[in-house]
Chains A and B, each alone.
Chain A
Amino acid sequence: MNDPIKDFIEQNRAEFDHLEAPAFDIKRFKEKALITENSKPRTFKLPLIAKWLAAASVFIAVATFMLVNKDPKHIAVKDLVQIKSEAHTVKKPPGTTLDKLANVPLQNVQQESISNPQRNIFANSGRTIKQKTSLFDKLADSSSASTRLAALLEIKKQGTLSNYAVDRLANALNNDNNSNVRLAALDILGSYSNDKYVSSLLVYSLGTQSDPMVQLELVTLLGNMEHLKIEEKLYALAADPNTFTAVKDEAFSILLNQNKL
């Protein structure tokens, strides 16, 4: 075999001969060994519990962050009143001027909402609140449909609706046992159908309504309104063999009129 080192040593033997092999210095050897040991990278092992503590603290931090961002309470009350007053609190049937209210500066709106008890539930008039709550209690009376109907007709006479009232009406529309009560609720909501929240509730009800009489009125009402994406729901009603015939016909004729077939 070709060992270049061997060849080199043999060739330069003469020069190697006068060198002495260094004595084995055990001290130096020990020092070197220790140095290499110490120079190993310092990896420290975490105790197991510390790992869990770290994970828990990260989780808590993330959760708190998300909660804080979701929590509406941290919005200033002033801003809340402003948002509400610009959006949905006052619902009046079409024909009355709503534009004046939108231009009123915040301070005046706050004052108005306190002095005018009919505006919404945040009002401070104790008596009006009591009247309203008793009406809604009547609306929840499960033993008598006539009481519920009377409560609805009373709410209709008040002329304005709060968001809470709208929600209760939608609940009556979708869940009441009696068709006449549901029809009365639809009648009231229908007169506020220009409002976006109300119309979204009506569209939702179209998909879930089970009473054929109410379905018919709902389809007729929504079919006359524009800018609603109800074609799919109408199509589903028209295609379902279980739908009441009149409802099917009405849905079909609306789709036909809108050229959506």
Chain B
Amino acid sequence: MKKQFILALSLLTIALSASAQKQYKITKSTGSLNLNINGAVIEGYSGNEIIFSMPNTEETEVDERAKGLRAISSSGYTDNTGLGIEVTEKGQDINVNSVSKKTDGILNIKVPQGMKVVFNNNNNSIYQSDITLKNLKSEIEVSTSFNKIILDNNSGPMNIKSLHGTVDAVFYGEIKGPVSIVSVYGYVDVTMPVATKANIELGSNRGNLFAADGFKIAIEKPVEKTDEKRVTKVENITVNGVNAPIVSVTGLNINAKQKNLGSISNRISNVTINAFVSGRDTETIKGKINGGGIDLVFKSNFQNVYLRTK
């Protein structure tokens, strides 16, 4: 009996200490939540309070010397939550700013589903945490430099931009447009239901576009441009059997010079030239899925775009 009692007591103590997360709550269920922090897990839920929490790491050392003092930072923000962030309310907006650039843990934020979420992190440090956004039903705006972005079970509309980070998005149910996900150096990977009705635009400047077989994209016919602009270098040309070095090329006009022939200007028509084409292998697909509907734009400059089915 004594053993069990001691066991129960010790378990209870451990359980209590483990659940002792630091939390900060603010009552708001409409308007916009503007986040300017290093990384976070943002989850939508059906409540009316925004709950910020930071899971306790095992080695939370309490600095004895700092008792009675508050941490200050060159950022100008002061920690009014105990979580390393400053939360202020301004009109319809809740502004959350990170006090210091260091991240001591991943901030968990529970957001009422009616609130718009805006996340900005244009920090130039490459050591950034991931951002996860899930179960949100309102508008989402994300603009980051290095953070990796994970979107899970949101409905949109959303504008996502990342310079160096990758974007993974999974949509389960109905999507509310427009959805625009753009990344410069990272890939864009989107999973969505096959039955989605959408006007889709996929684009990649230096990468490829991949789509699952389940998607029948009715591609819009691209406007044809003549290839004359793509010729940028022509090295040599034979005129009347004599080799003439090229002096200049403008569009389809070639100017060549040769001792006996003087200056020759010739316009090319219906001739195939082995020329150096400038590396503009931009791939863009604009089309409709299931007849068209909401607008979806998924683009990556240097990497691939993947479109998967659910």
On A, residues with C-beta under 8 Å from B are 93-95, 143-146, 149-150, 153, 178-181, 183-184, 191, 212-213, 216, 220, 224-226, 244, 246, 253, 257-258
Query: A149-B159, A184-B297, A213-B163 known; A94 and B225 CB under 8 Å?
Result: yes
For the complex, give the distance between the alpha carbons of A72 and B223 in Å.
Answer: 38
| 24 residue pairs from A and B, CB less than 8 Å apart | A94-B225, A143-B32, A144-B139, A145-B139, A145-B159, A146-B156, A146-B157, A146-B158, A149-B180, A150-B178, A153-B295, A179-B143, A179-B159, A183-B182, A184-B297, A220-B280, A225-B229, A226-B229, A226-B250, A226-B251, A246-B184, A246-B302, A253-B278, A257-B232
Query: A146-B159, A180-B160 known; A213 and B184 CB under 8 Å?
Result: yes
A220: B residues at CB distance < 8 A: 205, 280, 282
| Cβ contact within 8 Å between B225 and A146 | no
| Cβ contact within 8 Å between B229 and A224 | yes
For the complex, give the distance between the alpha carbons of A143 and B92 in Å.
Answer: 11
B229: A residues at CB distance < 8 A: 224-226
Choose one: A149, A184, A216, A253; the contact of B184 (CB below 8 Å): A216
Choose one: A184, A225, A244; the contact of B180 (CB below 8 Å): A184
Q: Which residue of A lies closest to B277 (CB)?
A: A257
Question: B116 interface residue, CB < 8 Å from A?
Answer: yes
Choose one: A178, A216, A225, A253; the contact of B159 (CB below 8 Å): A178
* Number of chain B residues whose Cβ lies closer than 8 Å to a Cβ of chain A: 37
Query: A246-B185, A246-B301 known; A180 and B180 CB under 8 Å?
Result: yes
Q: Which residue of B lies closest to A194 (CB)?
A: B225
A145: B residues at CB distance < 8 A: 139, 141, 159
A224: B residues at CB distance < 8 A: 229, 278, 280
Could you mark each residue 131-168 of chain B with 1 if its beta carbon is under 8 Å from any beta carbon of chain A, else 0?
00000000101010000000000001111110100000
Top 9 A-B pairs ranked by shortest CB distance? A146-B157, A180-B180, A180-B159, A179-B161, A95-B223, A153-B295, A257-B232, A149-B178, A145-B159
| Cβ contact within 8 Å between A95 and B159 | no
Min CB gap A193→B, angstroms: 11
Question: B177 interface residue, CB < 8 Å from A?
Answer: yes
Within 8 A of A (CB), among B266-310: 278-280, 282, 295, 297, 299, 301-302
Choose one: A180, A225, A244, A257; the contact of B182 (CB below 8 Å): A180
Choose one: A95, A253, A257; the contact of B224 (CB below 8 Å): A95
| Cβ contact within 8 Å between B161 and A180 | yes
Q: Which residue of B lies closest to A212 (CB)?
A: B163
For the complex, give the distance between the alpha carbons of A216 and B204 in Å.
Answer: 13
On B, residues with C-beta under 8 Å from A are 32, 116, 139, 141, 143, 156-161, 163, 177-178, 180, 182, 184-185, 199, 205, 223-225, 229, 232-233, 250-251, 278-280, 282, 295, 297, 299, 301-302
B159: A residues at CB distance < 8 A: 145-146, 149, 178-181
Min CB gap A218→B, angstroms: 13
| Cβ contact within 8 Å between B295 and A179 | no
| Cβ contact within 8 Å between A178 and B141 | yes
Choose one: B178, B185, B199, B280; the contact of A146 (CB below 8 Å): B178
For the complex, give the distance between the alpha carbons of A26 and B184 in Å.
Answer: 112
| Cβ contact within 8 Å between A153 and B178 | yes
For the complex, give the distance between the alpha carbons of A150 and B179 in Å.
Answer: 9
B279: A residues at CB distance < 8 A: 253
For the complex, give the distance between the alpha carbons of A110 and B199 in Å.
Answer: 36
A143: B residues at CB distance < 8 A: 32
For the complex, give the distance between the alpha carbons of A224 and B139 in Å.
Answer: 36
Min CB gap A92→B, angstroms: 11
For the complex, give the distance between the alpha carbons of A213 and B297 in Å.
Answer: 15
Choose one: A93, A212, A226, A246; the contact of B223 (CB below 8 Å): A93
| Cβ contact within 8 Å between B224 and A179 | no
Min CB gap A45→B, angstroms: 71
For the complex, give the distance between the alpha carbons of A18 and B282 in Å.
Answer: 127
For the complex, give the distance between the alpha carbons of A149 and B156 in Å.
Answer: 13
For the complex, give the distance between the alpha carbons of A150 and B296 in Å.
Answer: 10
A257: B residues at CB distance < 8 A: 232-233, 278
For the complex, give the distance between the alpha carbons of A206 and B70 in Å.
Answer: 46
For the complex, give the distance between the alpha carbons of A190 and B205 in Å.
Answer: 15
Q: Which residue of A lies closest to B206 (CB)?
A: A246
A150: B residues at CB distance < 8 A: 157, 177-178, 295
Min CB gap A151→B, angstroms: 10
For the complex, give the distance between the alpha carbons of A253 and B279 in Å.
Answer: 9
B178: A residues at CB distance < 8 A: 146, 149-150, 153
A225: B residues at CB distance < 8 A: 229
Choose one: A93, A146, A244; the contact of B139 (CB below 8 Å): A146
Min CB gap B21→A, angstroms: 33
A212: B residues at CB distance < 8 A: 163, 184
Choose one: B139, B157, B182; the contact of A213 (CB below 8 Å): B182
The residue in A144, A180, A220 that gathers the most chain B C-beta atoms within 10 A of its C-beta is: A180
For the complex, give the distance between the alpha carbons of A244 and B145 in Å.
Answer: 11
B224: A residues at CB distance < 8 A: 95
B184: A residues at CB distance < 8 A: 212-213, 216, 246
For the complex, give the distance between the alpha carbons of A184 and B297 in Å.
Answer: 9
For the complex, give the distance between the alpha carbons of A183 and B180 in Å.
Answer: 10
